[in-house]
Amino acid sequence: MRVLIDTLAAVMVIGLLAGVALHMHRLGGEQATHDQARFEVARLQQQIHRRAALTTAENRERGYPQVIDPEWFQGNLPVNPLLGPDHPWLEVASRSQRDLKHPSVRIASDASIACFWYNPFNGIVRARVPSDVSDAKALDLYNYINECRLGDLFADDG
């Protein structure tokens, strides 16, 4: 009987340790995904600044390219790993949004919302976050990925 109890205790400890290890592994994978999203935003931003420095007729008026050409990335288009491939790649801000630093919709709540938002009037790119997390986690994630400090996920602009 004692051997059975000791065996069950050992199995329970091993199961608990395995659960903790699995949880830590998932957290590490989640952080890697967040870091990749942050890197992709920075890669987009870098290309925009590079193209703006070329001072073509297209971007003299605004200072930044009007559109982002996928060809700039030579087949290695930035992706938002937080959102699925069914989302459009990029939304370009309209003239009425020219003063915005953030899109009015920061959470991709359905597949019609683009992974990235670009404002050609100020050269800012933002990545959207998934809708399957709490508002607090979405705000933290949005701030981390886009390297900003919004206090409210749903404010008009930050």
Taking the chain (158 residues) in runs of 10, the rounded mean pLDDT of each run is 62 53 57 97 95 69 85 94 94 94 95 96 96 93 96 78
Residue 62 structural domain = 2-146
Cα–Cα distance list, 120 to 25, 80, 130 (Å) = 39, 19, 24
Which H or E run contains 67?
none
Residue 136 forms part of a structural domain = yes
Give the model's pLDDT for residue 21.
44
Give the model's pLDDT for residue 155.
78
Residue 157 forms part of a structural domain = no
Per DSSP, what are the bridge partners of residue 90? 116
| Torsion angle of C-alpha atoms 90, 96, 98, 104, degrees rounded to 10 | -60
Give the model's pLDDT for residue 91.
97
Residue 100 forms part of a structural domain = yes
Give the model's pLDDT for residue 73.
93
Let me know: does 138 contact 153? Beta carbons within 8 Å.
yes
Residue 106 forms part of a structural domain = yes
Residue 151 forms part of a structural domain = no
Q: How many CB atoms lie within 10 A of CB 144?
A: 15
Give the model's pLDDT for residue 25.
45
CA distance 39 to 53: 21
For the chain, the domain total comes to: 1
Residue 153 forms part of a structural domain = no
Residue 121: alpha-carbon gap to chain centroid: 21
